[in-house]
Amino acid sequence: MSTDLPSIEGNAFNSSLSIPDFAACLSMGLRPVGMVQGFYYGQLSSGSNYSATPVRTYPCACMEVTYHQTGWLGTADTLDQIWMTAHEAALERMLTEAAGMGAHGVVGVTTRMSRPNGGAVLQAHLFGTAVTVEGASAPEKPWSTQLAGHKLAKLIEIGFVPSSVAFARSTAVLVEGCNLEYYGSGRYGTGHVVHPLEDAHKLARSGALSRVGQLGTHASLYDVQMQVQEAEGMQTSYITCTILGSFVRRVRAAMPTASPIPTVNLAS
């Protein structure tokens, strides 16, 4: 029995791909050569967890304005940059391992960012399946994508190729003063309501989108995954937005869509 799929020669290897994704790679001319991964494990300084730059203040909304604390909203830029640097270091280590295998790229990349035990330690772990492209010369640096299987096949079909995985993070820090969402009389006047928590969520999301846009100035972001986490304290709340995705670039125009062929005539 003959098959159109290329054979895999050599010793056994490991892969993080599912069976359908593995088969899709073979059909696209991508030959899996092995699973690759990159780690970063570092310690956060105590100040990085809490330092923030205020961007907006909220005067107390209650009647007793003389003795009460003013609330404010800010960004934890230093902390966020540490997380992004950790991801970049783990990504570079994964790609270095892939290059050592002679791979052209890494597909199906999974990103895991965590703080073990909730302490001042940051861990980044990226892993995926290194692949070679049949008939292509070795690139200066392997590309990477979290895509695999039919998503990757459709991307290539419409004229795009993977560039790199993307990770961005932005944290808004909300320090509550006195009665920030008080409804009534006071310094804001009767009937005025402020929404500091809503402002914090908007700040975190806009910051993450801005940072991920700066990473891929000449590429488009595809397969975007956004996660928002909220940690509330007695007076301080942290709203963190993280974005994962794959940068892609266009290499040719999309192929024209084939005209449908009728198979049943309902008029007769």
Task: Select the more confidently predicted residue: 54 or 268.
Answer: 54
- Any domain includes 256: no
pLDDT-derived band of residue 184, with 50, 70 and 90 as boundaries? very low
How do residues 235-256 score in pLDDT, each as one tens digit?
788 899 999 999 999 888 766 6
Say if residue 186's pLDDT is above 50.
Answer: no
Q: State how far the Cα of 101 lies from the Cα of 33, in Å rounded to an integer.
A: 7
Question: Three-state SS for 145?
Answer: coil
How do residues 46-99 score in pLDDT, each as one tens digit?
544 557 888 887 766 554 545 456 778 899 998 899 999 999 999 999 999 999
pTM reported for the whole predicted model: 0.80
Residue 190 burial by Cβ neighbours in a 10 Å radius (0-12, 13-18, 19+): exposed
How do residues 13-48 score in pLDDT, each as one tens digit?
566 677 888 888 888 888 889 999 999 998 876 544
- Any domain includes 267: no
- Any domain includes 9: no
- Any domain includes 227: yes
The residues pairing with 233 across neighbouring beta strands, listed in sequence order, are: none
Q: Could you give the percent of the chain with pLDDT greater than 90?
A: 35
Number of compact structural domains in the chain:
1
Say if residue 179's pLDDT is above 90.
Answer: no
Indicate the range of 72-76, 103-107, 250-254, 264-268 predicted with least confidence.
264-268
Q: State how far the Cα of 124 lies from the Cα of 246, in Å rounded to an integer.
A: 17
**CATH at 145:** 3.30.110.70
How do residues 118-161 score in pLDDT, each as one tens digit?
667 889 999 999 999 988 887 789 999 999 988 898 888 888 99
- Any domain includes 147: yes
- Any domain includes 7: no
pLDDT-derived band of residue 190, with 50, 70 and 90 as boundaries? very low
**Domain extent for 34:** 19-250
Question: Three-state SS for 62?
Answer: coil
- Any domain includes 14: no
- Any domain includes 255: no
